[in-house]
Structure 1
Amino acid sequence: MNGHGTIANELGVNGLWKQNPALIQMLGLCPTLAVSTSFVNAVSLGLATVVVMMIASTAVAVLRHVIPREIRIPVFILIIAGLVTVVDLLMNAYLHSLYLVLGIFVPLIVTNCIVLARVEAFAAKNRPDYAGLDALMMGLGLVWVLALIGAIREIIGQGTLFAGIEWIVPSWSAITLFGDASQGFLLAMLPPGAFIVLGFLVAAHNALTAWQKARTKKRTLAASAPAAPTPIGGEA
């Protein structure tokens, strides 16, 4: 039981932080930079990717012993393409306005390096529950980065937050932070703005990781340091 808990914790930490697909592995930069013009767009595509990753990874883990190694990549892509088609049709049917905004990036989940990389590197070598958990954590790691980039770009670029939320929940509306969208900083809404925000996030992630390592090393050295000898007679 403890072994399973340790593995689950490790998968969670790796996906959300240590091996974050957007900040560390630099995978899936196309949707990360292109769709993250708003919080809603970024999170929507991220969640669609999570659904595809989880089902694809679990399916591949279940079938890993019966898929011939020589044709594993075409089989993996076929499974992913089938799932993406289902997600694409569902979004077109029930979230049509959002679907029109996301456009070609929903079908392009098929070629997203994150999905195929986790299927090939992890799901094809591990049991289904671990494969599904790994996909979930890696996907959520992508989602929180996309959400942060989308929120920052939307706030700076057009002065709103949750723009487009009415496409998902009609009774909700965006939050306006300053009156006129033309007052926003246009660069934030353009591709260079996405690179700049991502660069700052990567730098912050690296700085926090270095601080954590230094703190852990300091604690380890303090714990392993020999205790001071007791003076003879108990006197200093």
Structure 2
Amino acid sequence: MASKTPAEIVRDGLWDNNPALVQVLGLCPLLAVTSTVVNAVGLGLATLMVLIGSNLAVSLIRNFVSESVRLPAFVMVIASFVTCAELLMQAYTYELYQILGIFIPLIVTNCSILGRADAFASKNPPHLAVLDGAMMGLGFLAVLIVLGGMRELIGQGTLFADMQLLFGPMASNWVIRPFENYPGVLFMVLPPGAFLGLGCLIALKNAIDHHRQAKRAKETASETVSSGSKRVRVTGNVS
């Protein structure tokens, strides 16, 4: 199988094969913690770190691991990086770590991470594996942030509340309150709101893809008609 070009890897991770919107993987933490932007960013950065680190490690050991222990070895690699992310959050963002709770250790079972390790990193050189991990992680992080922002804004009427939990005291005044005396919509803060929000994002992406495909098909048809007209004119002149 031919390796993908860097441009294809970037496009796959951010849009065409986005782990949340296309592969629909890692939904358990995605739906559970995206009630606010700060929760989404915290989980997204931890997942990004694990994806990059595990992809690099798997790519480096891919020629030394036998087929019989391939998956257990990959899981151990992923668990090691999750432990590192967990310890870093305990040391520097302990309050946010407590809020995210079990969903940080559960990154080990995230299908998108093991899937990238097995499907891509184990078959490609380190630089492409790192790029793939970074793009898949950024694509997942982007969906987390958009969904978290949507739920926080509609559910609580704020944006970027409690960002000091992740970025320290300097972020204590980042909160935005666009609506005065906003009553809040409890539905969006609860799990059903996460399903609704993610469904809207998937529908929006599909609509954009459909529009782009229809536009390309129209352009191709126009080019075909134009080329046919030119051939007819040339044939007529020769006759």
Task: Give how far 1:66 is off.
Answer: 0.2
Where do 1:25-40 residues align within 5 Å?
A: 25-40=23-38
Partner SS state of residue 160, structure 1: coil
- The question of 1:215 aligning with 2:228 is answered no
Matched, 1:17 2:19: no
Corresponding residue of 2:192: 192
Q: Which deviations, in whole Å up to 9, do the C-alpha atoms of 1:103-131 show, x marking residues without a partner?
A: 11111111111110100111111111111
Q: Which amino acid aligns with 2:136?
A: M
**5+ residue gaps, structure 2:** none
Displacement, 1:180?
A: 4.6
The answer for the alignment partner of 1:171 in structure 2 is 170
C-alpha offsets along residues 74-114 of structure 1, whole Å, 9 cap, x if unaligned?
11111111111111011101111111111111111111111
Equivalenced residue count is 230
Structure 2 matches for 1:30-179, cutoff 5 A? 30-167=28-165, 168-172=167-171, 173=173, 174-179=175-180
Give CA-to-partner distance per residue, 1:15-74, whole Å, 9 cap, x none. 111111101111000011001001111121011101101110011011100011101111
1:212 deviates by 0.7
CA RMSD of aligned residues (A): 2.0
Secondary structure of 1:54's match?
helix
Kindly provide the amino acid, as one letter, of the partner of residue 227 in structure 1: S
TM-score norm. by structure 1 comes to: 0.92
3-state SS, counterpart of residue 26 of structure 1: coil
Specify the SS of the correspondent of 1:16. helix
Q: Secondary structure at the match of 1:31?
A: helix
Give % identity. Answer: 46
Secondary structure at the residue paired with 1:175? coil
Question: Aligned letter for 2:69?
Answer: I
CA distance in 1 between counterparts of 2:181 and 2:215 reads 45
Q: CA deviation at 1:178?
A: 2.8
Distance 1:162 1:87, change over 3 A: same
Residues 188-213 of structure 1: per-residue CA shift (max 9 Å, x gap) = 00000000011111111111111111
- Partner Cα separation in structure 2 for residue 137 and residue 194 of structure 1: 23
Q: CA deviation at 1:175?
A: 1.5
Shift of 1:171: 2.1
Structure 2 Cα separation of the partners of residues 58 and 230 of structure 1: 58
Structure 2 CA distance for aligned equivalents of residues 7 and 165 of structure 1: 37
Q: Which moved more, 1:215-224 or 1:133-142?
A: 215-224
1:200 partner letter: C
Moved more, 167-176 or 211-220: 167-176
Q: Distance in 2 between matches of 1:53 and 1:207?
A: 29
In the aligned structure 1, how far is the partner of 2:79 from the partner of 2:152?
31
AA matched with 1:193: G
The SS at the match of 2:122 is helix
* SS at structure 2 position matched to 1:184: coil
